[in-house]
A and B are shown apart, each in its own frame.
Chain A
Amino acid sequence: MHYLIIGNSIAAAAVIEGIRSQDPEGAITVVGEERQACYARPLISYLLQGKTDEEKMRYRDQAFFDKHKVTVLCETRASHLDAGTKTVALDDGTTLTYDKLVLATGSSPFIPPMEGLGQVKHRFTFLTLDDALALQQVVKGDSRVLILGAGLIGLKCAEGLFGQVRSITVVDLAPRILASILDEKGSAQVQEHLQQKGLTFHLSDRVKEFTANEALLESGTIVGFDMLVVAVGVKPNTSLAKEAGLAVNRGIVVDTSMRTSGKDIWAAGDCAEAEELVSGQHKVLPLLCNAYLQGETAGKDMAGLTEPFNQAIAMNAISFFGLHVITAGLYEGEEKLFAEEGSYKRLFVRDNHLIGYILIGKAVERAGIYTALIRNQTALDTIDFDLISRQPALMAFAKSVRQQQLGGSV
């Protein structure tokens, strides 16, 4: 048995753990484009900040790959997949055959066409360790940084560079920051926090034209810069799957076992499009925890244990300069709002179920109790919702449930 994994990030590590929980012997090969061994991708902003280093960023160490007898090919790109002959061509000219294949190819930065972009000398994206290292190479104390995109990636990059550069300006087409995960009030609160630190925002705006060191915005504003980071979004890497004729929408379409439409081919992580629990719709959820859980599910299924993963929801934990934000699910239905100094909480309820939340500041404590209500689709009339909406607590559950939680095996 030969398991072939294309991609060497979080989902791939989870695939290995999934396979090895069932099959201690089958050969496993990992093909990864990046130079580095499997690392904790979201930590690249913390690397810029100096809160971690390349060694600590290792997601799984060498001993893990040795123990699990995994052959890892770094700096190797899979260029073609032939699902008929069950082969994958690599860019070094070799061809690998597989019995079971998983595509864990991740995503790539999306760079929209922009006038004059080619003239910009120090131009970066921010998705890989090499991106972060390249940024570090050119950062100087007097650098003016322009970031396109006020989403998770753009703003974490801003935090990573903060204090090491002269100025940071962020431009986004949306009227507010973190628009994909926050409501208006939440966005405003986080934006104010970032502005107090010294970040400058130009929202509802876009770059009309670049010269080497200036961006002319649609509004007429001119922003001078020395370094540009484009972080407007990512797109799933689906070309191998498309070529092989697999079903692909935005991402590679998978079922709850992470099987694609192709025989003996699975997909997991940022490249995959799976069913999201609350909406029931297929979505790409480029989040680390979903990458892990999808990878693990795929690995187990490949090795013979089918344990459907159908609890995927959108969820994010992110912080900026000590202000923590945790969000999950969908922002629809009836809502309950709790806002006070230093704490913002909005809960969304539909048909007797919690379907989403936004928590900022002190409200993030014990957030996972809310997450579990969404994931487990707990009927709210079986718990003391009044109590739990004020404060996430096991106290809100029926005594018998609590006895199982704290007195049983979980």
Chain B
Amino acid sequence: MKRVYVNEAWCLGCHLCEYYCAYANSGLTDMVKALKDKVIRPRLTIEQEGTISFAVSCRHCTEPLCMKSCIAGAISCKDGLIVIDQSKCVNCYSCIMACPYGALMPSEEQVMQKCELCATNSHGQPVCVQGCPNKAIVYEER
């Protein structure tokens, strides 16, 4: 399955991926309207320390501990893609307890959100990858 992979040597720490992610999942078609004057809640996290930086998003694990720990049965695996049914989520944080990458976080609506590789929004392909100016995030089969 194609996944998002990160090469920290190429990451500029520019945080553009966060903005592209927030835009892609906003449901809006205009990036400015989606982001202007908004507190963004991207589904990926930039870690930064000194000169090192990199983006962390859901790895779509073959052993998805978030799914197996979800008390609501809200997280499922669809052909390798780990997705969350937000209508079932009760915001208990069991997935946050379980995920070894720290890749889930609450949404603005106080239910869990995670990277779904833009397969479940209108874009179809990971928009963070398209927005990364230095190819530090790629979407490919490995």
| Chain A contacts to B: CB under 8 angstroms | 14, 40-43, 46, 51-52, 56-60, 288-289, 292-293, 296, 315-319, 324, 326, 328, 364-369, 371-372, 376, 387, 392-395, 399, 402-403, 405-410
Given contacts A56-B87, A292-B69, A367-B97, 12 further A-B contacts (CB under 8 A): A46-B90, A365-B102, A366-B99, A366-B102, A368-B101, A368-B102, A369-B100, A387-B49, A394-B101, A395-B47, A406-B59, A409-B142
Tell me whether A315 and B97 are in contact (CB under 8 A): yes
Report B87 CB to chain A, min CB distance, Å. 6
Given A296-B68, A407-B5: A371 and B59 within 8 A (CB)?
no
B101 touches A369 (CB 8 A): yes
A288 contacts B94, C-beta separation under 8 Å: yes
Closest A residue to B137 by beta carbon equals A406
A residues within 8 A CB of B90? 43, 46, 51-52
Q: Is A406 within 8 A of B56, CB to CB?
A: yes
20 A-B interface contacts by CB (under 8 A): A40-B71, A288-B71, A293-B68, A315-B97, A316-B97, A317-B94, A317-B97, A318-B92, A326-B93, A326-B97, A367-B93, A367-B102, A368-B65, A368-B99, A368-B101, A368-B102, A393-B49, A402-B54, A403-B8, A407-B5
* List of B residues within 8 angstroms of A288 by Cβ: 69, 71, 94
Which parts of B23-58 form the interface with A (CB within 8 Å)?
45, 47, 49, 52, 54, 56
Which residues of B from 75 to 129 have beta carbons under 8 Å from A?
Answer: 87-88, 90-102, 105
Bound Cα distance A395, B8 (Å): 11
Size band of the interface chain B makes with A: 35 or more
| CB closest residue in chain A, given B62 | A410
By the criterion CB–CB under 8 Å, are A42 and B71 in contact?
Answer: yes
Q: Is the CB of A364 within 8 A of B93?
A: yes
Whether B98 contacts A289 by the Cβ 8 Å rule is: yes
CA distance A366 to B66 in the complex (A): 12
In contact, B56 and A394 (Cβ under 8 angstroms)? yes
CA distance A73 to B100 in the complex (A): 37
Q: Cβ of B12 < 8 Å from any Cβ of A? A: no
Q: Which residues of B contact A (CB under 8 A)?
A: 3, 5-8, 45, 47, 49, 52, 54, 56, 59, 61-62, 65-66, 68-69, 71-73, 87-88, 90-102, 105, 142
- Tell me whether A52 and B8 are in contact in the complex, defined as CB-CB below 8 angstroms, given that A288-B94, A317-B92 are known contacts: no
- Bound together, the chains give a CA A230 to CA B36 distance in angstroms of 52
CB contact between A289 and one of B8, B68, B87 (< 8 Å): that residue: B68
Contact between chains at B92 and A59 (CB < 8 Å): no
Query: Of all chain A residues, which has the CB nearest B88?
Result: A56
Contacts of B97 in A (CB 8 A): 315-317, 326, 328, 364, 367-368, 371
Distance of A315 from chain B, by nearest CB (Å)? 6
- Distance to closest chain B CB from A169 (angstroms): 25
Give Cα A43–Cα B87 distance, bound, in whole angstroms.
Answer: 13
Contacts of B59 in A (CB 8 A): 405-406, 410
A285 to chain B, nearest CB (A): 13
Contact A366 B96, CB 8 Å, known A60-B73, A288-B71: yes
**A367 B96 Cβ-Cβ under 8 A:** yes
Compute how far the CA of A14 lies from the CA of B99 in the bound complex, rounded to whole angstroms. Answer: 19
Q: How far is the CB of B93 from chain A (nearest CB, A)?
A: 4
Query: Which residues of chain A have C-beta atoms less than 8 A from B71's C-beta?
Result: 40-43, 288
Whether the Cβ atoms of B142 and A408 lie closer than 8 Å is yes
Are A52 and B88 in contact, CB atoms less than 8 angstroms apart? yes
- B108 CB, nearest partner CB in chain A, Å: 14
- Bound CA–CA A407/B139 (angstroms): 11
Report the nearest A residue to B68, measured CB to CB: A292
- The contact of A372 among B8, B100, B105, by CB within 8 Å, is B100
The interface residues of chain B lying within 8 Å CB-to-CB of A371 are 97-98, 100
Chain B nearest CB from A48 CB (Å) reads 12
- Shortest A334–chain B CB gap in Å is 23
Shortest Cβ distance from residue A316 to the other chain B in the assembled complex, whole angstroms: 8
A409 to B94, CA, bound (A): 24
The CB with the most chain B CB atoms within 10 A, among A289, A367, A369, is that of: A289
Q: Nearest Cβ distance between residue B123 and chain A, in whole angstroms?
A: 22
> Chain A contacts of B142 at CB under 8 A?
407-409
CA gap between A241 and B104 in the complex, in Å:
40
Which of B7, B94, B96 is the one whose CB lies under 8 Å from A365?
A: B96
* Contact of A365 with B68 in the complex, beta carbons under 8 Å: no
A317–B96 contact, CB under 8 A?
yes
Contacts of A43 in B (CB 8 A): 71-72, 90
Complexed CA–CA distance, A410 and B63 (Å): 8
Given contacts A289-B98, A405-B59, is CB(A319)–CB(B8) below 8 Å?
no
* Chain B residues closer than 8 Å to A387, beta-carbon distance: 49
Say yes or no: A405-B101 contact (C-beta < 8 A), given A43-B90, A319-B92, A410-B61: yes
Q: Which of A318, A364, A376, A402 contacts B8 (CB 8 A)?
A: A402
